[in-house]
A and B are shown apart, each in its own frame.
Chain A
Amino acid sequence: SQQGEEDPQALSIQEGENATMNCSYKTSINNLQWYRQNSGRGLVHLILIRSNEREKHSGRLRVTLDTSKKSSSLLITASRAADTASYFCATAAGTASKLTFGTGTRLQVTL
């Protein structure tokens, strides 16, 4: 079963706008990670936030984590056409740091 669900399923914005994606999960976690997947390619790691952290930044990315609500959000600021991709959250727990993925958000950034 999927650990989490992402909202929205699809998002279409214009270049320069901000994009916000949300992720909810069900069980306790060690950390939560966000990955990007371009069409026809594998997943690429974007950012990781540990369970004892509330907010993290990396370039144009900002991630928040609320463990009391079991939710996370990914904000991409000043989006570019190259940001067009699917974005997945993944929670890590237990041995071997196995990841459980959400269902993904498809982001379309138009010129």
Chain B
Amino acid sequence: NAGVTQTPKFRVLKTGQSMTLLCAQDMNHEYMYWYRQDPGMGLRLIHYSVGEGTTAKGEVPDGYNVSRLKKQNFLLGLESAAPSQTSVYFCASRERTGDGQPQHFGDGTRLSIL
């Protein structure tokens, strides 16, 4: 049981390039989330999804787009990368039922924008 898998694990981009981060979960979870983690700060929510075909903005959505075409996958896109988007990106998922369900996290994608 892999849980939440993120690809790639590391990536270096040049300013203005685009890329897509992939998150896949095999737990049949309805809810999925994308966070970024910067030094000295906790995780900040970028976008989230409450089910296949749905997405919603989180705290820091600017510069990012997401898609949830399949229940198990949640994609995060950077259309035109900027140095301010250098960060570690985490994906998480959780069950829909009950407010006491924990979120399950992947191991992150470390992204550097030069």
Contacts and interface: CB of A to CB of B under 8 A. Distances in A.
Given A33-B102, A48-B102, A97 B42 contact: no
Interface residues of B, number: 28
Interface in A43-99: 43-45, 48, 50, 88, 90, 92, 95-99
A42 B99 contact: no
B17 interface: no
Task: Give the interface residue-count category, chain A.
Answer: 20 to 34
B90 A98 contact: no
B101 A97 contact: yes
A4 B44 CA distance: 12
Interface of A: 1-2, 4, 30-31, 33, 35, 40-45, 48, 50, 88, 90, 92, 95-104
B94 A88 contact: no
Contacts of B99: 30-31, 50, 92, 97
